[in-house]
Amino acid sequence: MELFKLLLKNLQSPVYEVREYILTRIIANNMTSALPIIRQQLDQNNNANLQPKLIKAYYFLNKEIGVDDQLGILSLPPEQKKAAMEGLLSRKEEETEKLVIDNLVVMARGTLPDKLTALDVVMECDCENYSGVLEILLSERDPKVFKKAIEASGKVKNMQLLSKVIDVAVAKKAFSSLKRSIVYYGDSIFLEENWQNRELKGDVLELFIKSAGNIKGDHSTSFLSDLLRQKKDKADEIIEALWTKKAKASDETMELVEDWANQKTEQGKYKLSYYFEVLHHPNLTLLQNAIMMEIKRDVQLLLKSFSLLYDREKVDRVIELLAIGNTPKISNAIEILEIIIPTKYFIQLNSLVELIDDVQHKKEVLTKTHGLHPTTIIEEIIKNNKANFSEWTRSVACYMIPKMKKNEMSLKMLNIKEPKDGFLFTETKNYVLSMLN
């Protein structure tokens, strides 16, 4: 009782922060006896910052809200409207929750400030019945609204609307909002039941892979493991994500990672060979740089796969040493690697690391070549692609074609459309054909 008296006394303090704190304690202790003084202060208060706090307390404590009060909520300014609904929802009562939802539906069909205020309430107040409100707001044309609705759906972990959230994000290209929504959803978004009837593609798939790598939990790990088995063309991104989240994957997943490492090691042999070949052709410098970028990327990914397969702490230390770019540090890293990973990986990886170091420090690169003609190299990269070059490198190789002498290269290979050809390569190919025709 003495505590309550002290709280009520301090509610009239001239210090704003004190009154704000007292109001939080009144709500926490459900002090209905404070209602008269709160009602009085609502009439007398001239502090704009305190008014929403008073309104929240009033709507929380007043168990006899009349029709006039219910209708009055919608006539309040946005910040006060939000405070009133927060107060009602804090009661955790079915009747008042229905009142709030009804008001939110009206606001969702109202002015832009009303729609944004409704979303503020959704994001900041616990309630399990926001689906109807969010569905309306997800269908809005205004980017401020549908982007925030995408995020709000994740904040309240509304799995019922997950498909619509993704569809809206894809249609409106609201990928940043979708990324934040996934983080809000957390590990539960990656439950298998959420993906049984949906196939992710393109940018959205890559977004979910990267997000899964930044979320802790078993569901996101299982999601990545399943993708590693199903989406071979996204294996690089999946390995990166598994490493980022420090996944403790199953034996089956480790076998898939090992298979990937075997393939990547073999592909590295081709990339190394092509790099040595193009060194002898000054007019292919762009292609040379593109291949080196891929070699650097492959070394990083191979190390991350070895981190998953072997001694993570030591392999991650190697990654740190290589990032420094200092030759003695690199030598130390190589010595560590030789102890940790099998010889079948070490020999090829060592060759790649030494090449990167030589190029970085502009040392003379001793090459063993087969004397391949530039046209042969370009054709192998574009058409055969045994090294599994990225779309970027294939596009660079295609861009090099006009530099070749006429009649040196058959353009038939550019007239064949491959299913794997992406937008960048297709545009580059069309440009080259227009230059040569």
Does 381 fall in a domain?
yes
Does 94 fall in a domain?
no
Give the pLDDT confidence score for residue 66 in this predicted structure: 56
Does 78 fall in a domain?
no
Mean pLDDT, to the nearest integer, of 416-422?
67
**What is the chain's mean pLDDT, rounded?**
87
Mean pLDDT, to the nearest integer, of 242-259?
93
Residue 364, pLDDT above cutoff 80: no
Does 292 fall in a domain?
yes
Condensed to tens digits (0 to 9), the pLDDT of residues 282-338 reads: 889 999 999 999 999 999 999 999 999 998 999 998 888 888 877 788 788 888 888
Residue 408, pLDDT above cutoff 60: no
Give the pLDDT confidence score for residue 244 in this predicted structure: 95
Mean pLDDT, to the nearest integer, of 159-170?
94
Condensed to tens digits (0 to 9), the pLDDT of residues 32-55 reads: 888 888 888 888 877 888 889 999
Which residues form the domain of 286?
Answer: 261-436
Mean pLDDT, to the nearest integer, of 52-72?
79
pLDDT higher for 64 or 180? 180
User: What is the residue type of 261?
Assistant: A
Give the pLDDT confidence score for residue 131 in this predicted structure: 92
Q: How many domains does the chain have?
A: 1
Residue 252, pLDDT above cutoff 60: yes
Give the pLDDT confidence score for residue 2 in this predicted structure: 66
Residue 407, pLDDT above cutoff 60: no
Condensed to tens digits (0 to 9), the pLDDT of residues 99-119 reads: 889 899 999 999 999 999 999
Does 338 fall in a domain?
yes
Give the pLDDT confidence score for residue 234 in this predicted structure: 93
Give the pLDDT confidence score for residue 136 in this predicted structure: 96
Give the pLDDT confidence score for residue 92 in this predicted structure: 86
Mean pLDDT, to the nearest integer, of 257-278?
93
pLDDT higher for 62 or 287? 287
Does 7 fall in a domain?
no
Does 103 fall in a domain?
no
Does 371 fall in a domain?
yes
Give the pLDDT confidence score for residue 402 in this predicted structure: 84
